[in-house]
Structure 1
Amino acid sequence: MHKILKIVALVLSLAGIGILVGIISKGDDGIEKAAANGDTALVDYMSYVAYAILALVLIFVVIFVVKNIFTGGKSLKNTLIGVGAFVAILVIAYVVSGGDGVYKYNGLVASEGESKIVGAGLIAFYILGAVAIGTMLFSGIKKLIK
């Protein structure tokens, strides 16, 4: 398995390097002119390589996370507690956020539901940021006391 992954990584790396050399040799003006004519193949190929790498990374992360969760009973419990806390924060943020009705910006229109979801995302971000800062302060103070 390790050898296969090394070969896949090498192939994707070489493909990315080759496409990057093509992009650099064409230059900004050449790429912009080609894009104006509808030819975006070179940039599209680089995107495909990036998507392939992202997909492989996500697949392996999910596989190893699921494997590690189910190999230990305590880690499963801690993971479920963490996921439950995260979902609780998202629900609280959604309930607290308010929809502003129809909102227009540069010709784009957001409905009340979309506005409520964006507000919930911002509130959840603020809550999680405050929790992260509080956790760092708590652990720093705890280390200073010891």
Structure 2
Amino acid sequence: MNVQKLLTYILGGVGVLSAIFLFMIISAGDDAIKAGEAGGSVNTFMYIAYVVLFLIVAIVLLFVLKGLFSGDIKKTLISVGAFLAIVFISYAMSSGTDLNLQPFIDKGADVTEATSKKVGAGLYTFYVLGFLAIASMAFSGVKKIFNK
């Protein structure tokens, strides 16, 4: 049995267990959860979710590192560098002062200009990466049309 088939079976089992746990949480009801009556079961499921998340992140990192060192590391480092450059440029473009924070502070939110700047940088990064993804798909489509 190869690793891919084994991982498929494991993922299927985790999916079935997830569906069962979700049904158990939903069947407890919102009122029971808010009152704390189902708190023990919800906390247990949260810890199970944390363990599964940790395992998934560990497996992903393992395969990323395996692929990184078995492939062309120069291209990978160039891609990571380009991504970091986009993030740094987005952070530099974000001002953090273009939003009136007082209404959020009055409602008790812990919002500062630094938080606003990070959110703005994340939005700019998303916009740039989204544009690049759409442009690369359009470019490959146009290239495919003209190569026929």
User: Please, what TM-score do these two structures have when normalized by structure 2?
Assistant: 0.76
Map of 2:111 onto structure 1: 110
Q: CA RMSD in A?
A: 3.0
Number of aligned residue pairs: 141
Please list the CA deviations of residues 89-145 of structure 1 after superposition, one character each: whole Å capped at 9, or x if unmatched.
011001111121771323324211111111111111111111111101100100111
- Give yes or no for contact 1:12–1:49 (8 Å, CA) kept in 2: no
1:88 to 63, 85, 88: 85
Q: Does 1:48 align with 2:47?
A: yes
With over 3 angstroms needed to count, the CA separation of the structure-2 counterparts of 1:76 and 1:45, relative to structure 1, is same
TM-score (norm 1): 0.77
Where does the alignment leave 5 or more consecutive residues of structure 1 unmatched? none
Equivalent residue number for residue 127 of structure 1: 128
Identity %: 37
Matched, 1:60 2:62: no
Higher strand share: 1
Q: Deviations over 1:74-98 (max 9, x none)?
A: x211110110000000110011111
Tell me which stretches of 4 or more aligned residues in structure 1 moved more than 6 Å: 4-11
Q: Which has the higher contact order (CA 8 A, sep 6+)?
A: 2
